[in-house]
Amino acid sequence: MNDMPQARAAAAFQAAFGHAPSLQVQAPGRVNLIGEHTDYNDGLVLPCAIDYRTVIVARPREDRLVRVAAADYDGAIDEYALDAPIERLEAPMWANYVRGVMRDLVERGLPVQGMDLAIAGDVPQGAGLSSSASLSVAVCRLFATLPGFEGLGPVDMALVAQRAENDFVGTKCGNMDQISSACGVQDHALKIDCRSLEVQPVPIPGNAAIMIFNSHVARGLVDSAYNTRREQCEAAARHFGLRALRDLDLATLAARAAELDPVVLRRARHVVTENARVEAAAKALAAGDLTRMGELMEASHASMRDDFEITVPAIDQLVGIVKSVVKTAGGVRMTGGGFGGCVVALVPHALVDAARDAVQQHYTAPNGSKATTYVCRAAAGAGVITA
């Protein structure tokens, strides 16, 4: 695992506070292999934590003061007391993820104490790999090292981090990103039931690399489009008298399709079929069947393109370039909220270089950029760094 964030965090801590830290924790980013826009429909997702992470080094204080140094933002320091109301800042935004978690822990009555901490990370920001969830979960994991936090398990930490993003930062995200970061298992994907919060590790075949291609297409429409699609999904569920589209089966949808607005029908069809694809993908991965996984990822991408309408031409082109190399030996699809962002692929190790070279040669973003390629492996979730 890359130890550069750890070294940067330690250096920032020494520079800011004049002594060495006594605690070190990390929390990874994540990529979603399949299961898009299903989380807020109480559905199923299949992400994995990745070996890009946020590291926090810290030392508890005897008083109620919190001082936070951000190594990736020129050592900027945010300082406040736990005895006063913890307020949201207009800037810098990174500080709000820390503040939001702190406030939630305090409001839960947990024995939060003063702390000096420094933060560094290598999760690419703005690429849809959950750098924000990684930060929030890492803060929660840090305080969970203290006495009195023994009952705060990984899923609990994920929910604290989600609430901080929802209620303090103002990002209305689901729970997939935080659960992935908190509960990751090395060399495994996680089949997450977003209703029950059950997490089932699924082994990733040893011959497969996880490749992520950042298209460098800015996801400018994603907030308004996300809200619109969420409303459309909720409208479809209400029409059928259901709590969420998780409870709708394809046969019922097909039989009563004429009752729905054609756009709402397509949105619902994506969610219903995507949940089924997650179930099938978990079985294919566990069996080491990359060919079947590739078929499911291809179908997922087509559904996002045609029924959910969240891809863009550059993303479709990028998927096609990777698919032309991988063929039936693996899979590739858009990942994330849509309208840009990243493409994820499961690629046999023998084809990694060819896939990277093909993208470098044949893809150029509308702004003239080349795609940035990350080769990852599924990583363990948030934890204490002992070395």
In tens, the pLDDT along 153-184 reads 999 999 999 999 989 998 877 889 999 999 99
How many whole angstroms separate alpha carbon 82 and alpha carbon 106?
A: 8
Domain 208-376 has CATH 3.30.70.890: yes
Between CA 318 and CA 95 the distance in angstroms is 35
- Residue 1's pLDDT band (cuts 50, 70, 90): very low
Rounded Cα–Cα distance for residues 201 and 48 (Å): 9
Instruction: Decide yes or no: CATH 2.60.120.10 for domain 4-203+379-384.
Output: no
In the prediction, which pLDDT does 225 show?
84
Give the active site residue among 177, 223, 249, 306: 177
Q: What is the pLDDT of residue 37?
A: 93
Rounded Cα distance between 190 and 45, Å, is: 8
* DSSP structure class, residue 102: H
The 10s digit of each residue's pLDDT in 52-78 is: 999 999 999 999 999 999 999 887 899
pLDDT at 222 over 70: no
Tell me the per-residue pLDDT of 24-61, one tens digit each, with 9 for 90 and over.
999 999 999 999 999 999 999 999 999 999 999 999 99
Is 177 annotated as catalytic? yes
Contact 127, 341 (CB under 8 A): yes
Q: What's at 201, amino acid-wise? A: P
CB under 8 Å, gap of 24 or more: what pairs does 277-283 form? Answer: 277/34, 277/35, 277/303, 278/34, 278/35, 278/38, 278/43, 278/44, 278/45, 278/46, 278/191, 279/44, 281/33, 281/34, 281/35, 281/46, 282/46, 282/189, 282/191, 282/200, 282/202
Question: Which sequence spans correspond to the domains of the chain?
Answer: 4-203+379-384, 208-376
Q: Which two tokens stand for residue 380?
A: 């363990």
How many other CB atoms are there within 10 angstroms of residue 214's CB atom?
22
The residue-averaged pLDDT of 293-303 equals 98
